[in-house]
Amino acid sequence: MGNTLRWLPLLATLAACGPTGVELIDQDGDGWYLNDPNPEYVDCNDTPVVGLMVRPKGQAEVCDGLDNDCDGVVDEDDAEGALEWWPDDDEDGFGKRVENPKIACNLPRGYSANRKDCNDSDPFIYPNAPERCNALDDDCDIDVDEGFDLDAIWHADADRDGYGSLVVVGTGCAEEAGWVRTATDCNDFNARVHPEAAEICDGIDNDCDRLIDQNDPDVTGTRTWFADDDGDGYGTLLTTQDRCWFSPPGEGWVSNDDDCNDADPLQSPESIWYRDADHDGFGKPGVTWPLGAAEPTPQCWQPIGFALNQDDCDDTDPESFDTALWFADADSDGYGFPLPVWQGCGRQPGWVSRAGDCADHDPTRNPDVLEVCDGIDNDCDNLIDDADDSVADPQIWFRDNDQDGYGVNFAAVESCEAPTGFAAQLGDCDDNDPRLNPGTVWYRDADRDGYGDPANPSAATTCDVVPGHVPNADDCDDTDYYRNDYTPWYPDMDGDGLGIGNVVVDQGCLDGTEGIAPETGDCNDDDPLENGGGCFGPALGMVSVVAHVDRDYLGFSLRMVCDNFTAFTQFPYLMSAADRSTTVTRTDIIPAFDTCQFTLSGPGSDFSGDGLWGADVVVCGQTIGTVVGGGRQSPRFEIPRCSGCTDPAATNYDPTAIISTNAESCLY
């Protein structure tokens, strides 16, 4: 049988006859027979499909889990696709680098697929392993003990209770037996003493809080003691203290809590109670609790109708007992003078058991009487009228802010005496004006100067304004606006009717007024013509210069020179070619009646033909002249007065003024 037949890639089972006539089997169709008579050519894996990768001669061994060359060895070390494997002696999954790694298809035991281990003798050392404080590079990153406090302080723990002493031994990050990080142990030689130990009665500070035994609120194993303030041998639950068995509290403390009244040594579980029928706090001798019993029964708690003593001489009278105090009651009002006269059992005429009478000669004054507004201590509490909060008849007072005797219903108070700023009657219509109230009298004010004629009062008083009237009678001449009780008079030497200065030389309605005037404002009291609107002196005029310019380029300047005013004013303005026209305003203050000249110059002309190559001089809103452009000087302009009286009918008429500042500047 030839080799050609053996290498046909058949997918079906083939059969052939051998030299002996035996049928040969080739199930995988690789040309090799499962029962080849020659052992060297026997197909060791004739399984369909898979068997194609296996043949006894010429087949290369690969890492596929098959015996490809039928030599009895599967995936031997020299098979195609075999990998390098690195020794992993500590079996931590990371191998070490060696010169001759093992070559094999599969991971051999004791080997790793990588060679990243930096210490193959320690299974806890490998890349990305948890870093430990051991002076080793556990995670193979070259750094040693990173992330640990190498300067950590350790303290000796001699008694092994987990708490160290204050002795500092050294620094480092590794924990060793007998050393801890804390230093809170107050006794490092007793394992029962540390901050978490229980405080017990043993004479030492068990929990290291510097408090020992019963001085520590956390102590256990103590005994409770009860205060015995009255010394009767019985204690109270209200006041206790816990102390260790070997340290009793001493005098004033007992081990029981049986007392029902630790302020009274007579009241205790041994107390005998006596009948107190009149409930005066004093018992009847010989009549004890319980009633009818042959012998009294001691008990701590007070039975109803019984007392601890037997000092009552009359158990039917609550004011009569052996220690009763009696006070003389001269006015028979039931209260005696505070000083007792005698003590004993039995009521006597003219004596009472109640003290507190502050006037034993007056039966209307005693502690049972109501306090009233009369300047007397009626109820004997040493407080009189407003000083006594229990006063029975205080008056209501109303807020009177303007103190005109009429109040408003706001912030009313009750008191015997009128407080400052309050009134007894309501009805004020304006509590900020003392002239306006229901009792206001209105007086005729014919001259409308705000002052009324005392001879012409209104018919009735009222809060409402009476037309033509004012709430005062201060006018001495109701026909003259300038004459009233308060008219001020000023010196008027030139007799022009206008005074000078601010000094008032007289006041009121005067008969003779020579040399004085009711108004001031004269600027020259030697000249009757110089006053009021004529008081200009060196008055200033506001000069406003308005320039209207037509031009193509560059700019222009406006020069102003006045006779009596140092002025050299230029207005440089630069314009673009597109800005062919502009208006510029410049304002200067120049003394009235000064004379000024103006010059407008610059490389320009009236290109538009509107005649505006020039400037207007404007004073107080009125044009007084025009300046021509081209460097020519203007005429001389006299600056007029801006303000003054412009009414020819007035005595102070000023023809030089342009405008009148106000109507009151004129005198008639």
- pLDDT tens-digit series, residues 607-637: 555 555 677 777 666 777 787 777 778 888 8
For residues 456 and 464, is the Cβ–Cβ distance under 8 A? Answer: no
For residues 281 and 273, is the Cβ–Cβ distance under 8 A? Answer: no
Specify if 508 maps to a domain: yes
Token digits of residue 73: 């060895």
Predicted confidence at residue 624, as pLDDT, reads 76
Half-sphere exposure of 550 (CA within 13 A, CB side): 10
Residues 518 and 550 in one domain: no
Specify if 563 maps to a domain: yes
Predicted confidence at residue 317, as pLDDT, reads 85
What is the distance between the alpha carbons of residues 668 and 659, in angstroms, rounded to a whole number?
Answer: 18
What is the distance between the alpha carbons of residues 127 and 87, in angstroms, rounded to a whole number?
Answer: 16
Residues 545 and 506 in one domain: no
Q: Which helix (H) or strand (E) holds 5?
A: helix 3-6
Residues 562 and 628 in one domain: yes
Q: Which of 570, 531, 565 is nearest to 650 (CA)?
A: 531
Tens of pLDDT, residue by residue over 161-175, are 989 887 767 777 766
Candidate from 89-93, 221-225, 448-452, 654-658 with smallest mean pLDDT? 654-658
What is the distance between the alpha carbons of residues 347 and 402, in angstroms, rounded to a whole number?
Answer: 63
Residues 22 and 45 in one domain: yes
CA angle 403, 404, 408 (to 5 degrees): 80
- Give the three-class secondary structure for 4: helix
For residues 459 and 479, is the Cβ–Cβ distance under 8 A? Answer: no
Residues 507 and 577 in one domain: no
Residues 526 and 604 in one domain: no
What is the distance between the alpha carbons of residues 115 and 391, in angstroms, rounded to a whole number?
Answer: 108
Residues 589 and 634 in one domain: yes
Specify if 627 maps to a domain: yes
Place of tokens 């000064």: 594
Maximum C-alpha span of the chain? 183
Place of tokens 């008579």: 37
Residues 551 and 507 in one domain: no
Predicted confidence at residue 320, as pLDDT, reads 83
Domain boundary (530, 555, 581) is at 530
Domain boundary (44, 64, 81) is at 81
Specify if 336 maps to a domain: no
Residues 552 and 629 in one domain: yes
Q: Quick one: how far is CA 654 from the chain centroid?
A: 69
- Give the three-class secondary structure for 415: strand
Specify if 439 maps to a domain: no
What is the distance between the alpha carbons of residues 507 and 14, in angstroms, rounded to a whole number?
Answer: 157
- List, in sequence order, every residue forming a beta bridge with 342; answer none if it has no partner: 326
What phi and psi, each to the nearest 5 degrees, are found at residue 5? -65, -35
Residues 508 and 584 in one domain: no
Specify if 286 maps to a domain: no
Residues 521 and 577 in one domain: no
Average pLDDT for residues 54-59, to the nearest whole number? 77
b/e per residue 300-321 (b: at least 16 CB within 10 A): eebeeebbbbbbbbbbebbebb
Tens of pLDDT, residue by residue over 333-364, are 989 988 877 788 878 888 888 898 999 899 99
Domain boundary (48, 81, 114) is at 81
Tens of pLDDT, residue by residue over 559-583, are 778 776 655 455 555 544 455 455 5
What is the distance between the alpha carbons of residues 35 and 364, in angstroms, rounded to a whole number?
Answer: 153
Q: Which of 515, 511, 514 is nearest to 525 (CA)?
A: 515
Predicted confidence at residue 33, as pLDDT, reads 74
pTM of this structure: 0.34
**Average pLDDT, rounded, for the chain:** 81
Predicted confidence at residue 536, as pLDDT, reads 39
Specify if 3 maps to a domain: yes
Question: Exposure of 15 by Cβ count < 10 A (0-12 exposed, 13-18 middle, 19+ buried)?
Answer: exposed
Tens of pLDDT, residue by residue over 359-414, are 989 999 999 999 999 999 999 999 999 999 999 899 999 999 989 889 888 778 99
Predicted confidence at residue 3, as pLDDT, reads 35
Average pLDDT for residues 465-469, to the nearest whole number? 88
Predicted confidence at residue 2, as pLDDT, reads 36
What is the distance between the alpha carbons of residues 246 and 252, in angstroms, rounded to a whole number?
Answer: 17
Token digits of residue 109: 């035991």
Tens of pLDDT, residue by residue over 255-275, are 999 999 999 999 999 999 999
* Structural domain count, the chain: 3
Question: Exposure of 557 by Cβ count < 10 A (0-12 exposed, 13-18 middle, 19+ buried)?
Answer: middle
What is the distance between the alpha carbons of residues 436 and 439, in angstroms, rounded to a whole number?
Answer: 8
Full 3-state SS string of 587-632: EEEEECCCEEEEEEECCCCCCCCCCCCEEEEEECCEEEEEEEECCC
Q: How many residues does the chain have?
A: 668
- Give the three-class secondary structure for 423: strand
Residues 515 and 604 in one domain: no
Question: Where would I find the beta strands (DSSP E) of 511-604?
Answer: 516-517, 540-550, 555-562, 573-574, 581-591, 595-601
Amino acid residing at 116: K
Q: How far is CA 304 from CA 270, 289, 450, in A?
A: 17, 10, 86
Edge-first strand order for the sheet with 406-415 is: 422-423, 395-399, 406-415, 425-426
Specify if 31 maps to a domain: yes
Average pLDDT for residues 490-510, to the nearest whole number? 84
Domain that holds residue 495: 487-530
